[in-house]
Structure 1
């Protein structure tokens, strides 16, 4: 089972509407950023062999980030996914969906990135850079498939 991590909608009514629509489509959503312990269910899910999907290019609600380079410029990615991978032992698998037509997508999967439970900040940053490099590779090949949202 895949859980998609999202920031909560600002408007509670919009959040409920969007969550209901996603659930009807079979998408399970976990909202993070409202409480420091929001990610604990994700850790348990990973430890049981589940999958967690996270957008690498969206800022962390907590503000905790890792410094990397994207296209030769400073860029920040959320620290949480890398901490979860280290704590759970789950690999990070950079995966991108390229739209090829109406309801048609091509999945682009990059090699897994492994972290140990004792990963220090430097190891987290190296893993984050590898994941960001994978994103850059995808964007270079399909530039119309990425839009940088301002936080």
Structure 2
């Protein structure tokens, strides 16, 4: 897996098993089962493990034994985030708590009435943490994404849990998603976009990231620069068994070029990765 292919991995049987255990035996039991499942993946998922070890050893300069320990923990926490997502959809949100650093920034964006663009990354778990905010700050959060989950898994999750609580704006070749983003902002809604993965063949911007050259998708930064809406970088990481730490940066109000926004975004992403290195969930060769 030298590059991200835009597809979500997973098996229908695995989803069914964990939904059953969450419903019947609770989160604690599901977490315990995860230790076995994720250790199996650590042993046999060679390509994702190799990508993680490269990231920890050659980017964050973590020693060999410690890097392997962190890779194992990474797989386990990633499994927890998937279980947490399902738990929220099953109505078990009361079992979670969170703190929100700079929550007032999002309140100010909402009160300004122009909507807001939230740029995030595959560090931690924005979807579950976003569920903690929905209804508290805004009734509607739109997520711009590739609708690339395996179809039978997505269908089963929708039937079993009612599906995501977010509005999904699917990225389309005809650029109709740009109109959907505009409409959401006009309605004073938040639009969340992950800005750390690009598909091969798509336009990208090359940036210095943690001392190495990396490619980031150009589209999110173009969107952030073109619309008359504040832009903030929002992240959410697990900071306890059933708790999350959310953060937002001071909103960008002035017009900026895509490259300028990308530079600020990468600087914030570096801070988050250093703070939560075990929650870096990009399982491919991120660098060229």
CA distance in 2, matches of 1:55, 1:67: 16
CA distance in 1, matches of 2:174, 2:161: 22
**CA deviation after TM superposition for structure 1 residue 21, in Å:** 6.7
- Given candidates 103, 118, 123, the residue that maps to 2:242 is 103
- Partner of 1:139, secondary structure, is helix
> Rg bigger for which structure?
2
Which residue pairs with 2:274 in the alignment? Answer: 140
Task: State the structure with bigger RCO (CA 8 A, min sep 6), 1 or 2.
Answer: 2
For residues 13-68 of structure 1, the C-alpha deviation after alignment (integer angstroms, 9 at most, x for no partner) is 44444566786452221211443322220122123321111112121577122222
Length-normalised TM-score, structure 2: 0.45
Which residue pairs with 1:81 in the alignment? Answer: 220
- Partner of 1:98, secondary structure, is strand
Q: Displaced runs of 4+ in structure 1, greater than 3 A?
A: 10-25
Which residue pairs with 1:53 in the alignment? Answer: 192
CA distance in 1, matches of 2:148, 2:195: 18
Which residue pairs with 1:36 in the alignment? Answer: 175
**CA deviation after TM superposition for structure 1 residue 96, in Å:** 0.8
Say which is worse superposed, 34-43 or 97-106, in terms of deviation: 34-43
- Partner of 1:77, secondary structure, is strand
CA distance in 1, matches of 2:283, 2:259: 22
CA distance in 1, matches of 2:206, 2:161: 32
Q: Is the 8 A contact 1:5 1:53 kept in 2?
A: yes
Say which is worse superposed, 105-114 or 88-97, in terms of deviation: 105-114
Q: What count of residue pairs does the alignment treat as equivalent? A: 146
Q: Is the 8 A contact 2:145 2:168 kept in 1?
A: yes
Where in structure 1 are there 5+ consecutive unaligned residues? none
Which residue pairs with 1:4 in the alignment? Answer: 143
Q: Is the 8 A contact 2:158 2:164 kept in 1?
A: no
Q: Is the 8 A contact 1:115 1:127 kept in 2?
A: no
Structure with greater proportional strand content = 1
Which residue pairs with 2:283 in the alignment? Answer: 149
CA distance in 1, matches of 2:254, 2:160: 35
Length-normalised TM-score, structure 1: 0.79
Structure with greater proportional helix content = 2
Where in structure 2 are there 5+ consecutive unaligned residues? 1-139
Which residue pairs with 1:124 in the alignment? Answer: 258
CA distance in 2, matches of 1:61, 1:4: 21
- Partner of 1:4, secondary structure, is strand
